Each structure stands twice: as C-alpha cells, then as structure tokens.
Amino acid sequence: MSMVVVVTENVPPRLRGRLAVWLLEVRAGVYVGDTSKRIREMIWQQITQLGGCGNAVMAWATNTESGFEFQ
C-alpha cells in the first residue's frame, strides 16, 4: 500500500463521487488515500473513463530516488 494523491479540475460530479468512495477529499478536487497498486490502477481507469473535458493528475509514493511517481 502506498499514499496516493489525485488532483482534479473540471471533472463531472459523478467522478468526484466515485473518487470519494476510495479516497478522502481534503479540498475541492484534491483527494488523498492509502491504496494498493490494484486499487490505484482501477481509480486511474475510472478517471480516464469518467473525466469528461476535465483533467487530473495522480501521484503516489514509491521506492525510487524521487520517492514518488505520477501520471
């Protein structure tokens, strides 16, 4: 499990609701949580399918030199 941060802009309410199922919305459009790789990939799939005209970025903790990766 690793910490995940998702930041969204101009996404449909349906996606915001979906993200709130797995992650905590700490500010409008900013979500954090501790998820497995499988759940993280499933969340990203939901973002790409339901994102509409909005945009999103996801960052998560890893054991790399920088300590994180993102997409």
DSSP string, 7-68: EEES--HHHHHHHHHHSEEEETTEEEEEE-HHHHHHHHHHHHHH-TT-EEEEEEE-SSSSSE
Give tens-digit pLDDT for 6-56.
999 999 999 999 999 999 999 999 999 999 999 999 999 999 999 999 999
Q: 7: domain range?
A: 2-70
CATH number at residue 31: 3.30.70.240
The Cα–Cα gap between 49 and 18 comes to 12
pTM for the structure as a whole: 0.92
Total domains in the fold of the chain: 1
The neighbouring-strand residues paired with 13 are none
